[in-house]
Chains A and B, each alone.
Chain A
């Protein structure tokens, strides 16, 4: 008798836990649909309008003095970044927007990078840049590890100019 009662108690608990998860998903979907900042339910695979460049094009752009933006977190930037790159961690883009605007004009070329192909920060920062007025934005897909592995110029520390 007591055994069946315990079992049904656990079944009830699991059912309530599942109901809680379902309710949360429902709330999230409703709130997301109602919010003007709502996310697309399926993340877009790639953003239209953002160019994707490889190592060779990145080297050319770097030699031409194009602005490089490092989308990784500040700690990763401090530990080492492409020389003359500016630190714009994706999460801090809004605080850095004014300084970035003063530094890079709308029509200036920008190259954004992070830690490589699977790192979403660079693509998202590029997407955000395009939505906020900058027009000439490219993502260096291979990112910092490939740049460093190729023996190209890197720097440590905080001399990026718009690092907070």
Chain B
């Protein structure tokens, strides 16, 4: 049983599928926020978790972090680091959503740039899913991801050939 779990956690095919899913989710989530920074700043402020003077900085940087992390997951470049960041983001979002629900706040999620819909319990599960997927990716993927690995292999091959000469 433990062995099966360990195999699933290390499975590279699973981590590939999860990378695509989480990557697409993050890219989708970032698009609307990139075009409506002011709206996203309001969404962040509505959670009342970030001090007011930091709200705009968060609203400026967070969509880009989502976009870059999403692209890194989709391309596999720095996949393990991207998985780690995705895990971190999912954790922060999960805590924010749970705390808003626990305080009985009627605010919109702001997660995909959506204006109207208010938070409900369903919003927690997506964050938990992302968190689990991020962890699996972080554990299963190679540190540098494919382009760097391929590059290292290429350089190593050249070095070996030049030594032979």
Contacts and interface: CB of A to CB of B under 8 A. Distances in A.
Contact of B106 (A10, A27, A76): A76
A43 B37 contact: no
A124 B68 CA distance: 29
Contact of B116 (A15, A32, A89): A89
B61 A24 contact: yes
Given A16-B81, A20-B78, 9 more contacts: A16-B80, A21-B65, A24-B62, A24-B68, A29-B61, A41-B60, A43-B55, A75-B117, A91-B39
A15 B81 CA distance: 8
Contacts, number: 122
A20 B61 contact: no
Contact of B52 (A12, A16, A45, A73): A45
Contact of A20 (B56, B63, B65): B65
B78 A43 contact: no
B115 interface: yes
Interface in B59-80: 59-65, 67-69, 72, 78, 80
A64 B68 CA distance: 53
Interface in A61-102: 72-76, 79, 89-92
Q: DSSP class of B's interface residues: helix, strand, loop or mixed?
A: helix
B143 interface: yes
Given A21-B65, A37-B37, A73 B81 contact: no
Interface stretch (B5-13, B14-22, B41-49, B155-163): B41-49
Interface of B: 34, 37-39, 41-43, 45-46, 48, 52-53, 55-57, 59-65, 67-69, 72, 78, 80-82, 84-85, 88, 106-108, 115-118, 138, 143-144
Contacts of B65: 20-21, 24-25, 28
Contact of A91 (B34, B88, B116, B138): B116
Contact of A118 (B48, B61, B69, B116): B48
Contacts of A13: 80-81, 84, 138, 143
A133 interface: no
A31 B64 contact: yes
Contact of A41 (B38, B56, B62): B56
B64 A73 contact: no
B78 to A, nearest CB: 5
Contacts of B85: 17, 20-21
Contact of B84 (A14, A28, A45): A14
Contact of B56 (A23, A24, A40): A40
